[in-house]
Amino acid sequence: MKQMKTPLVVLNFKTYTESTGKNAVRIAGMCADVSNETGISIIAVPQLSDLRAVAEIGIPVFAQHIDGISPGSHTGSVLAEAASDSGAIGTLINHSERRLTLADIDSAIQAADRAGLATIVCSNNIATTKAAAALEPDFVAIEPPELIGSGIPVSTADPGIVSGAANAVSGINPDVQVLCGAGISKGEDMQAALKLGTVGVLLASGIIRAPDPGDALRDLVSGI
């Protein structure tokens, strides 16, 4: 994936009732509206069963997970090519709610590359961020798990881990871009993340579970 020229918002729909089925399509429409209004790049990350319907809205869509497998006898696994055929242009790998071993992360990145999918590898500290960057994904997203869903943004709770991750990744592979996640929900959170050396944010509940996700997205990008 090319280096981002505008800030990036990656919205993980998870599997909330508010963001599945028809609700996934509704929120995807809000993402498209805000992106068109502001020029900010927004990627939707719905659950696997909603990939095709969300992709038909016309916004960039990532899968929440793929497995590092080739086509064959892998019942219950997620094939990279299947995600691509359903409309995904990329995938999350190693989210804190879907942890993988380093070997599995490497296999998943290779599977994604084979299928032409961009990759965001999630990490929880600077050491794992460095290890992930060495595997050459498109993005690494630093997300301390204790702050996920807390409403406490990592960009203010622990800014050193964000700037440290950005510096560490730059030293290993400057082509890998860094995102900031965990507790992000407001405009000042995103501004802080960008100032710390990231190209954008990965977030979920602060937008998905807001009374009006469209308004919450507008607030998120209001200061950019």
For the beta sheet containing 200-203, the strands, ordered from the edge strand earlier in sequence to the opposite edge, are 41-45, 8-12, 200-203, 177-181, 139-142, 118-123, 90-93, 62-63
User: How far apart are alpha carbons 9 and 217 in whole angstroms?
Assistant: 9
Per the CB < 8 A criterion, the answer to whether 111 and 67 are in contact is yes
- Cβ atoms of 127 and 165 closer than 8 Å: no
Does the active-site annotation cover 95? yes
Backbone dihedral angles phi then psi of residue 211, each to the nearest 5 degrees:
-55, -35
Q: Given 18, 95, 146, 188, which residue is catalytic?
A: 95
CA separation for the pair 139, 159 (Å, rounded)? 19
Residue 102 phi, psi dihedral angles, 5° rounding:
-60, -40
Q: What is residue 139's three-state secondary structure?
A: strand
64: nearest Cα among 13, 4, 109, 112: 13
C-alpha to C-alpha distance for 166 and 219, rounded to whole angstroms = 25
Among 56, 136, 143, 188, the active-site one is: 143
Catalytic residues: 95, 143
